[in-house]
Amino acid sequence: MVVKVKLFATFRRGRFREQDMELPDGCTVEWVLDHLNIPRRQLGIIYLNGLAASEDTVLHQGDTLSIFPMVGGG
Amino acid sequence: MTRWLELKDTLVLAERQGKTPLEIEKEHLAQGVVPLHYQRNYNAISLSDQIKLLDSRVGVCGCGGLGMNIVNYLARLGVGHITVWDPDIFSESNLNRQLFSSSDNIGKSKVEVCRASVQQINPAVCLTAIPAKWEESDASVICQQQVMVDALDNIPSRIALARSCEKFNIPLVHGAVGGWYGQLTVVMPGDRILQEIYQNAEQQGIEKEQGTLPYTAAVLAGLEAAETVKLLLDMESDLRSHLCLVDLLNMSLDMLPKCNNNVNKM
Protein backbone atom coordinates (compact mmCIF):
# COMPACT_ATOMS: atom_id res chain seq x y z
CA MET A 1 0.00 0.00 0.00
CA VAL A 2 1.05 3.60 -0.57
CA VAL A 3 0.87 6.19 2.23
CA LYS A 4 1.84 9.84 1.86
CA VAL A 5 4.26 10.70 4.67
CA LYS A 6 4.94 14.35 5.58
CA LEU A 7 7.75 15.31 7.92
CA PHE A 8 8.17 18.64 9.66
CA ALA A 9 10.98 20.80 11.07
CA THR A 10 14.08 18.86 12.16
CA PHE A 11 12.56 15.54 11.07
CA ARG A 12 13.08 16.69 7.45
CA ARG A 13 16.85 16.79 7.83
CA GLY A 14 18.51 13.85 6.09
CA ARG A 15 15.08 12.42 5.25
CA PHE A 16 12.49 14.24 3.12
CA ARG A 17 9.71 16.78 3.29
CA GLU A 18 6.96 14.69 1.68
CA GLN A 19 7.08 11.24 0.12
CA ASP A 20 4.67 8.56 -1.11
CA MET A 21 5.98 5.52 0.75
CA GLU A 22 5.34 1.91 -0.24
CA LEU A 23 4.52 0.20 3.08
CA PRO A 24 3.60 -3.36 4.11
CA ASP A 25 -0.18 -3.87 4.32
CA GLY A 26 -1.57 -3.37 7.82
CA CYS A 27 1.53 -1.69 9.22
CA THR A 28 1.29 0.89 12.01
CA VAL A 29 2.60 4.41 12.56
CA GLU A 30 5.25 2.85 14.80
CA TRP A 31 6.62 0.89 11.82
CA VAL A 32 7.09 4.15 9.88
CA LEU A 33 8.76 5.87 12.85
CA ASP A 34 11.20 2.95 13.20
CA HIS A 35 11.84 2.76 9.47
CA LEU A 36 12.69 6.49 9.36
CA ASN A 37 14.71 6.42 12.61
CA ILE A 38 12.57 9.15 14.18
CA PRO A 39 13.95 9.84 17.69
CA ARG A 40 11.09 9.17 20.14
CA ARG A 41 12.34 11.69 22.70
CA GLN A 42 11.74 14.46 20.15
CA LEU A 43 8.42 13.14 18.86
CA GLY A 44 5.57 15.62 19.18
CA ILE A 45 2.22 15.25 17.50
CA ILE A 46 1.22 12.66 14.87
CA TYR A 47 -1.62 13.41 12.49
CA LEU A 48 -3.33 10.87 10.24
CA ASN A 49 -5.57 12.43 7.60
CA GLY A 50 -5.76 15.61 9.68
CA LEU A 51 -6.70 13.90 12.95
CA ALA A 52 -4.49 13.09 15.93
CA ALA A 53 -3.08 9.55 15.84
CA SER A 54 -0.80 7.41 17.97
CA GLU A 55 2.07 5.02 17.33
CA ASP A 56 -0.23 1.99 17.27
CA THR A 57 -2.65 3.47 14.72
CA VAL A 58 -2.96 1.14 11.71
CA LEU A 59 -2.32 2.72 8.30
CA HIS A 60 -4.35 2.19 5.14
CA GLN A 61 -3.86 2.72 1.42
CA GLY A 62 -4.11 6.43 0.52
CA ASP A 63 -3.61 7.74 4.06
CA THR A 64 -1.64 10.93 4.74
CA LEU A 65 0.60 10.68 7.78
CA SER A 66 2.18 13.85 9.26
CA ILE A 67 4.91 13.63 11.90
CA PHE A 68 6.04 16.61 13.98
CA PRO A 69 8.80 17.06 16.51
CA MET A 70 8.07 18.65 19.86
CA VAL A 71 8.84 22.39 20.01
CA GLY A 72 8.76 24.04 23.42
CA GLY A 73 11.28 26.88 23.55
CA GLY A 74 10.61 30.53 24.17
CA MET B 1 -8.70 66.29 8.54
CA THR B 2 -7.16 64.20 11.32
CA ARG B 3 -5.72 66.09 14.28
CA TRP B 4 -2.68 64.74 16.10
CA LEU B 5 -1.48 64.83 19.70
CA GLU B 6 2.27 64.83 20.29
CA LEU B 7 3.69 62.71 23.10
CA LYS B 8 5.31 65.67 24.84
CA ASP B 9 1.89 67.38 25.00
CA THR B 10 0.31 64.20 26.40
CA LEU B 11 2.86 64.17 29.20
CA VAL B 12 2.41 67.89 29.97
CA LEU B 13 -1.41 67.53 30.04
CA ALA B 14 -1.17 64.46 32.27
CA GLU B 15 1.08 66.30 34.72
CA ARG B 16 -1.07 69.44 34.68
CA GLN B 17 -4.41 67.63 35.07
CA GLY B 18 -3.20 64.96 37.49
CA LYS B 19 -4.16 62.21 35.07
CA THR B 20 -2.26 59.33 33.52
CA PRO B 21 -0.94 59.59 29.94
CA LEU B 22 -3.32 56.70 29.13
CA GLU B 23 -6.32 58.74 30.29
CA ILE B 24 -5.20 61.76 28.27
CA GLU B 25 -4.78 59.64 25.12
CA LYS B 26 -8.20 58.02 25.53
CA GLU B 27 -9.90 61.41 26.03
CA HIS B 28 -8.28 62.77 22.88
CA LEU B 29 -9.05 59.70 20.78
CA ALA B 30 -12.69 59.95 21.82
CA GLN B 31 -12.67 63.45 20.26
CA GLY B 32 -10.98 62.21 17.08
CA VAL B 33 -7.52 63.47 18.05
CA VAL B 34 -4.95 60.72 17.44
CA PRO B 35 -1.76 60.45 19.48
CA LEU B 36 1.01 60.93 16.91
CA HIS B 37 2.87 57.81 17.99
CA TYR B 38 -0.16 55.75 16.83
CA GLN B 39 -0.26 57.53 13.44
CA ARG B 40 0.99 54.47 11.54
CA ASN B 41 -1.49 52.16 13.29
CA TYR B 42 -4.20 54.18 11.58
CA ASN B 43 -6.30 53.07 9.49
CA ALA B 44 -5.29 49.41 9.89
CA ILE B 45 -6.48 50.00 13.47
CA SER B 46 -9.54 52.28 13.54
CA LEU B 47 -9.88 55.05 16.14
CA SER B 48 -12.53 53.07 18.04
CA ASP B 49 -10.30 49.98 18.00
CA GLN B 50 -7.34 52.05 19.19
CA ILE B 51 -9.43 53.11 22.20
CA LYS B 52 -10.36 49.45 22.71
CA LEU B 53 -6.66 48.49 22.71
CA LEU B 54 -5.86 51.19 25.25
CA ASP B 55 -8.54 49.70 27.50
CA SER B 56 -7.27 46.14 27.01
CA ARG B 57 -5.56 43.85 29.51
CA VAL B 58 -3.09 41.21 28.34
CA GLY B 59 -0.96 38.84 30.41
CA VAL B 60 2.34 37.65 28.91
CA CYS B 61 3.82 34.57 30.60
CA GLY B 62 7.56 34.50 30.03
CA CYS B 63 9.87 37.39 29.21
CA GLY B 64 12.55 35.83 27.00
CA GLY B 65 13.04 35.58 23.25
CA LEU B 66 9.30 35.46 22.59
CA GLY B 67 7.96 37.46 25.52
CA MET B 68 10.10 40.57 25.15
CA ASN B 69 9.25 40.91 21.47
CA ILE B 70 5.55 40.34 22.20
CA VAL B 71 5.52 43.01 24.94
CA ASN B 72 7.40 45.36 22.62
CA TYR B 73 4.83 44.95 19.82
CA LEU B 74 1.82 45.25 22.13
CA ALA B 75 3.24 48.34 23.86
CA ARG B 76 4.05 50.09 20.58
CA LEU B 77 0.54 49.31 19.30
CA GLY B 78 -0.99 50.83 22.42
CA VAL B 79 -2.32 47.88 24.41
CA GLY B 80 -2.97 49.81 27.62
CA HIS B 81 -2.46 47.23 30.37
CA ILE B 82 0.22 44.56 30.09
CA THR B 83 1.27 42.19 32.86
CA VAL B 84 4.46 40.20 32.31
CA TRP B 85 5.82 37.36 34.43
CA ASP B 86 9.36 35.97 34.54
CA PRO B 87 11.58 35.18 37.55
CA ASP B 88 14.82 35.21 35.52
CA ILE B 89 17.70 37.63 35.29
CA PHE B 90 19.64 38.32 32.09
CA SER B 91 22.57 36.08 31.30
CA GLU B 92 25.10 36.25 28.49
CA SER B 93 23.43 33.42 26.55
CA ASN B 94 20.33 35.63 26.16
CA LEU B 95 22.14 38.22 24.04
CA ASN B 96 21.58 36.43 20.69
CA ARG B 97 17.80 36.93 20.75
CA GLN B 98 16.26 38.71 23.74
CA LEU B 99 15.22 42.18 22.64
CA PHE B 100 16.04 44.27 25.72
CA SER B 101 19.17 42.29 26.71
CA SER B 102 22.54 44.02 26.52
CA SER B 103 25.99 43.55 27.95
CA ASP B 104 25.13 46.30 30.47
CA ASN B 105 22.11 44.60 32.00
CA ILE B 106 23.40 41.07 32.55
CA GLY B 107 22.33 40.02 36.03
CA LYS B 108 19.32 42.37 36.07
CA SER B 109 15.69 41.26 36.27
CA LYS B 110 14.25 40.68 32.79
CA VAL B 111 10.80 42.01 33.63
CA GLU B 112 12.21 45.13 35.34
CA VAL B 113 14.38 45.95 32.31
CA CYS B 114 11.34 45.27 30.12
CA ARG B 115 9.21 47.65 32.20
CA ALA B 116 11.81 50.43 31.98
CA SER B 117 12.17 49.94 28.20
CA VAL B 118 8.39 50.03 27.65
CA GLN B 119 8.18 53.22 29.70
CA GLN B 120 10.57 54.80 27.16
CA ILE B 121 8.75 53.33 24.15
CA ASN B 122 5.19 54.20 25.17
CA PRO B 123 4.65 56.06 28.48
CA ALA B 124 0.88 55.56 28.15
CA VAL B 125 1.18 51.81 28.71
CA CYS B 126 0.71 50.51 32.26
CA LEU B 127 3.12 47.58 32.46
CA THR B 128 3.03 45.41 35.56
CA ALA B 129 6.33 43.55 35.92
CA ILE B 130 6.16 40.45 38.11
CA PRO B 131 9.60 38.91 38.78
CA ALA B 132 8.14 35.48 39.56
CA LYS B 133 6.59 32.50 37.81
CA TRP B 134 3.02 33.15 36.66
CA GLU B 135 1.93 30.09 38.68
CA GLU B 136 2.86 31.94 41.89
CA SER B 137 0.47 34.82 41.18
CA ASP B 138 -2.89 35.14 42.82
CA ALA B 139 -5.70 33.83 40.61
CA SER B 140 -7.28 37.29 40.68
CA VAL B 141 -4.35 38.67 38.64
CA ILE B 142 -4.90 36.02 35.96
CA CYS B 143 -8.66 36.59 35.97
CA GLN B 144 -8.20 40.30 35.16
CA GLN B 145 -6.63 39.48 31.80
CA GLN B 146 -8.69 39.42 28.59
CA VAL B 147 -6.06 37.38 26.77
CA MET B 148 -3.12 35.36 28.07
CA VAL B 149 -0.02 34.86 25.93
CA ASP B 150 2.17 31.78 26.22
CA ALA B 151 5.81 32.82 25.81
CA LEU B 152 7.14 30.20 28.21
CA ASP B 153 10.20 28.03 27.73
CA ASN B 154 9.15 24.73 29.29
CA ILE B 155 6.44 22.20 28.64
CA PRO B 156 5.00 21.61 32.15
CA SER B 157 4.38 25.36 32.59
CA ARG B 158 2.71 25.56 29.18
CA ILE B 159 0.30 22.75 30.06
CA ALA B 160 -0.45 24.32 33.45
CA LEU B 161 -1.14 27.66 31.74
CA ALA B 162 -3.53 26.04 29.25
CA ARG B 163 -5.42 24.41 32.14
CA SER B 164 -5.56 27.67 34.08
CA CYS B 165 -6.85 29.62 31.07
CA GLU B 166 -9.56 27.00 30.53
CA LYS B 167 -10.53 27.19 34.21
CA PHE B 168 -10.86 30.99 34.09
CA ASN B 169 -12.36 31.04 30.57
CA ILE B 170 -9.57 33.15 29.09
CA PRO B 171 -8.33 32.74 25.48
CA LEU B 172 -4.67 31.78 25.19
CA VAL B 173 -2.26 32.59 22.38
CA HIS B 174 0.35 29.83 22.20
CA GLY B 175 3.75 30.09 20.53
CA ALA B 176 6.90 27.98 20.80
CA VAL B 177 10.25 28.03 19.03
CA GLY B 178 13.31 25.84 18.47
CA GLY B 179 16.11 26.52 15.98
CA TRP B 180 14.61 27.56 12.64
CA TYR B 181 11.15 26.29 13.60
CA GLY B 182 8.09 27.42 15.49
CA GLN B 183 4.46 26.65 16.17
CA LEU B 184 1.51 28.88 16.90
CA THR B 185 -2.16 28.55 17.74
CA VAL B 186 -5.05 30.26 19.51
CA VAL B 187 -6.52 28.16 22.31
CA MET B 188 -10.13 29.00 23.10
CA PRO B 189 -11.65 27.61 26.33
CA GLY B 190 -12.47 23.93 25.74
CA ASP B 191 -9.72 23.45 23.16
CA ARG B 192 -7.22 20.85 24.44
CA ILE B 193 -4.68 21.19 21.65
CA LEU B 194 -1.73 21.87 24.00
CA GLN B 195 -2.46 18.79 26.09
CA GLU B 196 -2.57 16.89 22.79
CA ILE B 197 0.73 18.31 21.52
CA TYR B 198 2.56 17.94 24.83
CA GLN B 199 1.32 14.51 25.87
CA ASN B 200 4.53 13.64 27.64
CA ALA B 201 5.77 16.61 29.64
CA GLU B 202 9.07 14.88 30.31
CA GLN B 203 10.00 14.82 26.62
CA GLN B 204 12.44 17.38 25.28
CA GLY B 205 11.62 19.92 22.65
CA ILE B 206 13.96 20.37 19.70
CA GLU B 207 15.18 23.65 21.23
CA LYS B 208 17.36 21.64 23.64
CA GLU B 209 19.41 20.49 20.67
CA GLN B 210 18.75 23.33 18.20
CA GLY B 211 18.86 26.40 20.45
CA THR B 212 16.75 29.44 19.53
CA LEU B 213 17.57 31.79 16.67
CA PRO B 214 16.73 35.49 16.97
CA TYR B 215 14.61 35.80 13.83
CA THR B 216 12.60 32.67 14.69
CA ALA B 217 11.72 34.20 18.07
CA ALA B 218 10.91 37.56 16.44
CA VAL B 219 8.69 36.00 13.72
CA LEU B 220 6.72 33.85 16.17
CA ALA B 221 6.43 36.76 18.62
CA GLY B 222 5.06 38.97 15.84
CA LEU B 223 2.50 36.31 14.94
CA GLU B 224 1.50 35.90 18.60
CA ALA B 225 1.09 39.68 18.97
CA ALA B 226 -1.10 39.79 15.83
CA GLU B 227 -3.31 36.98 17.15
CA THR B 228 -3.56 38.73 20.53
CA VAL B 229 -4.77 41.93 18.87
CA LYS B 230 -7.31 39.98 16.78
CA LEU B 231 -8.73 38.46 19.97
CA LEU B 232 -8.88 41.85 21.70
CA LEU B 233 -10.65 43.41 18.72
CA ASP B 234 -13.05 40.48 18.13
CA MET B 235 -11.57 39.70 14.72
CA GLU B 236 -11.79 36.26 13.10
CA SER B 237 -8.74 34.01 13.08
CA ASP B 238 -8.11 30.66 11.39
CA LEU B 239 -5.76 29.81 14.26
CA ARG B 240 -8.73 29.10 16.52
CA SER B 241 -9.27 25.96 14.48
CA HIS B 242 -5.72 25.35 13.20
CA LEU B 243 -2.20 24.78 14.45
CA CYS B 244 0.32 26.77 12.41
CA LEU B 245 3.79 25.30 11.86
CA VAL B 246 6.52 27.67 10.73
CA ASP B 247 9.73 26.43 9.08
CA LEU B 248 12.06 29.31 8.28
CA LEU B 249 14.75 27.00 6.88
CA ASN B 250 12.48 25.64 4.13
CA MET B 251 10.31 28.78 4.15
CA SER B 252 7.08 26.89 4.71
CA LEU B 253 4.01 27.66 6.76
CA ASP B 254 1.58 24.78 7.31
CA MET B 255 -1.90 25.18 8.76
CA LEU B 256 -3.02 21.95 10.38
CA PRO B 257 -6.72 21.59 11.26
CA LYS B 258 -7.41 20.79 14.89
CA CYS B 259 -9.81 17.94 15.69
CA ASN B 260 -13.34 19.36 15.50
CA ASN B 261 -14.30 18.12 18.95
CA ASN B 262 -11.47 20.18 20.42
CA VAL B 263 -12.51 23.50 19.02
CA ASN B 264 -14.88 25.97 20.65
CA LYS B 265 -15.68 29.29 19.10
CA MET B 266 -15.41 32.37 21.30
The last residue of a domain, from among B55, B81, B101: B55
Q: Which residues contact A71 (CB under 8 A, 6 or more apart)?
A: A9, A44, B176, B177, B178, B181, B182, B183, B205, B206, B207
Domain that holds residue B163: 56-262
A73 vs B204: CB contact, 8 Å cut-off?
no
pTM of the model: 0.94
- In angstroms, the Cα distances linking B218 to B58, B175, B181 are 19, 11, 12
Domain that holds residue A33: 2-69
B33 with B165, same domain: the answer is no
B137 with B241, same domain: the answer is yes
Taking the CA of residue A18 and the nearest CA in chain B, the distance in Å comes to 13
CATH of the domain at B258: 3.40.50.720
Give me the number of domains chain B comprises.
Answer: 2
Adjacency order of strands within the sheet including A2-7: A18-22, A2-7, A64-69, A43-48, A51-52
Q: Which chain B residues have a beta carbon less than 8 Å from that of A41?
A: 203-204
Average of per-residue pLDDT across B93-107: 97
Q: What percentage of chain B reaches a pLDDT higher than 90?
A: 89
- C-beta separation of B228 from B58 below 8 A: yes
Q: Is residue A74 part of a domain?
A: no
B23 with B116, same domain: the answer is no
Give me the number of domains chain A comprises.
Answer: 1
A70 vs B247: CB contact, 8 Å cut-off?
no
Q: Is residue A25 part of a domain?
A: yes
B178 vs A73: CB contact, 8 Å cut-off?
yes
Q: Rounded to a whole number, what is the largest CA-CA distance in chain A?
A: 41
A10 vs B206: CB contact, 8 Å cut-off?
yes
B145 with B250, same domain: the answer is yes
Q: What is the pLDDT of residue B259?
A: 67
pLDDT digits (tens, 9 = 90+) for B4-30: 999 999 999 999 999 999 999 999 999
